[in-house]
Structure 1
Amino acid sequence: MKESVQHVVVGFCVGAVSVGVAVAVAHRLRWVHFSAIRSGTNHKPEPEGGSERSGTEGEATRPAAIQADDVLSRESAQALNEARETILTLRALGGADQVSEDVGGNSINYAESQNILNLLYNIAEDQARKEGYVHRGITCNICNTSPVCGTRYKCGNCVDYDVCERCEPLDIHDKSHMFIKITIPLPPLASPRAALFKPLFTGSTARDHSLQPISWSHVKRLQKITHFDHFELEALYEQYRCLCDQDAVIKRDTFNFCLGPLGTLNNLVLDRLWQFYDFNDDGVIDFDDFAKGLSVLVKGTQEEKARFAFQGYDIEKKNSLSRENLTKLLKAYFQVSIELVRDVVKACEEEMMLNFDDSQGKPVSSLFNAPIPSTTGQQGRTANGKPPIPGNPGATKNMWPVMEAMSQDAIEEMVDNVFKDAKLEAGDRMSYQAFKELSTIDSSLMSWFDALGTVF
């Protein structure tokens, strides 16, 4: 084991040094090429039969061409000799046989070295093009580089905090804050000096409470009872630290916030999902509950999801389901679906109104039409003072009453069919085994459990 680790380390060092040698060779050759261009001596020798110039003129220009070739060949040979010496040294240390074979004893393979040089040139060109964007007046808060070149990352939750693209991967700043990627430089005086939006995480940050980093034993224990590996568990723990409060737990108000527009609803589906996450039924969600709940929703098997969906229907905790249990939860699921659809439709309407231009294709006189006076008062008007659009479901207090009435009948018919397929008579209760078999055939029985995704 120790020898294999040593071989890996040596191989890594060999690769790193080889790349460094290639970079040095690339810089040396590029500098030589640039110097030759500046001096005006970078001329390629012409073929013997292809020159139309006189012999005297060719003889006059030949020394300059020979001088350029001598400079290039001499500098290139020096750079390649340095690379060869480094590779031979690595070969003596061991682990550079493949690289030294490319050297070929006295010469380096031209095709492979040229590919490496082309790659390095492309990388340098891309980096130079990226660093051409200069954010004047902006200083990196980590390395104090001013101005920031390349991509600028601005914290949207702080008043004035910027980092450059080299420091951004260091992940030193508050992990609950959101960064804005800015490629095109903003005018220095127009750059915002205020927080652009509030933190999206409701809980305290890691620096605000005493929640310690997760221990290795804790990770190993959760690996045995969840479908996550230790990398995923460590990432989930960081997310949990940004959501929990001073008591290092997630409470119901945070859970409601994570539901977005549904957080203000008093709905049975939301209550059952909270009970699902609260495994130990203590009224809060700790990290074990958090990891186990996400494990079921993200990577759980059909049997696991069916068991928890059955527990959601079993409001009375009798280990069996009645018709009323299924009817109540399915009606609550329909209400949640209506709210989700209404929220999506509202967002689409707002976007359409922002992008809609009704002045196109109309005469100029249409801009001067005065509103027609109305003597009917405010009767028949919506909350914003506008008359309701005929057939618009949003103009009434109850949303789509016809659809709701139809859905109630459809839900009752669905419940009757479910109990009929289970061969149960009126008044009989459904067992978990019967529910599990039916859920594999009728996926709508599981729909409430997957309706809101993972919540977190």
Structure 2
Amino acid sequence: GSWNQIKRLVRKLEIECLIRLFHHLVGRTDGSCDNVGLDRNTFRAILHSMFGMTDDMLMNRVFFAFDKDNDNRINVKEWVKGLSVFLRGTFEEKLKFCFEVYYLNGDGFISQEEIFDILKNSLHQQSSEEETDEGIKELVDIILKKMDYDNDGKISFADFEKAVREDRLLLEVFGPCLPEVKNCLDFEALAFRNIPTSCF
């Protein structure tokens, strides 16, 4: 029991520190979270500087996955919830988060077109347009063969979950949308450094 109490206490302190960091980032010194949020540019700058993300398209998608109420800014609840997945997320939570990042049109499926767009975005630097398009189409076919279990030409959450459970490397198959462990540790060192003293 006491171990769980300690874990709960640490969790509570971590959330308080995340809220404090949010205040700092939105420039509020009075401690009020009402009607404030991180806009997309500010949030992308945080993903870049604190979590080492570099892909514009994926950073936009991560923003939309954090922004649950679709008001184009991340409020304090969305901030804490999203970061909890980044830093402490279970495999299931990370699975759900990645799926949300990859489908954007709200229908609950990752379509062939979306796979094509994401892959084209991540590969476009490397070769000429014609080669790229042909190569990406082939890649889309390979991915669908591997992940589209019900053969309906798109990837449902059930498809995605089954594929990733069989091969965990497929979790970020369409590009890095979770921060690397090193970046998480750096972020924690920054965000939670005051826990032993000032959070009590």
Sort the TM-score into its range (normalised by shorter chain): 0.5 to 0.7
Partner Cα distance (1:306, 1:275) in 2: 16
Pick one of 18, 35, 40 that aligns with 1:252.
40
Q: Deviations over 1:164-220 (max 9, x none)?
A: xxxxxxxxxxxxxxxxxxxxxxxxxxxxxxxxxxxxxxxxxxxxxxxxxxxxxxxxx
Matched position secondary structure for 1:430:
strand
Distance change >3 Å, CA 400–CA 309, structure 1 → 2: closer
Change (3 A) 1:280 1:295: same
Say whether the 8 Å CA contact 1:267–1:332 is kept in structure 2: no
CA contact (8 A) 2:111 2:153 kept: yes
Compared CA separation, residues 303 and 330, structure 1 to 2 (3 A) = farther
TM-score with structure 1 length normalisation?
0.31
**Structure 1 counterpart of 2:169, one-letter code:** S
Aligned residues: 163
Q: Tell me, which stretches of 5 or more residues in structure 1 are unaligned?
A: 1-222, 336-398
Q: What CA deviation, in whole Å up to 9, does each residue of 1:407-428 have, x standing for no partner?
A: 6555433321222123454x63
- Root mean square deviation, CA, Å: 3.4
TM-superposed deviation, 1:323: 1.2
One of 381, 387, 401 as aligned partner of 2:127:
401
Q: Aligned partners of 2:159, 2:170: CA distance in 1, in Å?
A: 15
CA–CA distance in 2 between the matches of 1:415 and 1:401? 17
The structure 2 residue matched to 1:294, chosen from 83, 87, 109, is 83
- Paired residue for 1:320? 109
Q: 1:287 to 1:334 in 2, by over 3 A?
A: farther
Match of 1:439 among 164, 169, 178: 164
Selected match of 1:448 from 176, 192, 196? 176
Over the matched positions of the two proteins, sequence identity in percent amounts to: 24
Shift in CA distance, 318/283, structure 1 to aligned 2, threshold 3 Å: same
Alignment of 1:174-193 (within 5 A): none
Q: CA deviation at 1:296?
A: 0.6
Structure 1, residues 84-105: CA drift from partner, whole Å, max 9, x if none?
xxxxxxxxxxxxxxxxxxxxxx
What stretches of structure 2 of length at least 5 have no aligned partner?
Answer: 1-7, 29-34, 188-200
Higher-helix-fraction structure: 2
Using the size of structure 2 for normalisation, the TM-score is 0.65
Corresponding residue for residue 430 of structure 1? 155
**Structure 1 pair 253/312, CA: closer, same or farther in 2 (3 Å)?**
closer
The amino acid of 1:401's aligned partner reads S
**Residue type at the aligned position of 1:330:** L
2: CA distance, partners of 1:313 / 1:424: 19
Mapped contact 1:269–1:333 kept (Cα < 8 A): no
Matches of 2:109 and 2:73, distance apart in 1: 26
**Alignment correspondent of 2:12:** 230
Q: Distance in 1 between matches of 2:149 and 2:38?
A: 42
Q: Residue 289 and residue 423 in structure 1: after superposition, are their counterparts in 2 closer, same or farther (change >3 A)?
A: closer
Relative distance call for 1:309 and 1:277 in structure 2 (3 A) is same
2:149 and 2:41 map into 1 onto residues whose CA distance is 42
Q: Secondary structure at the match of 1:321?
A: strand
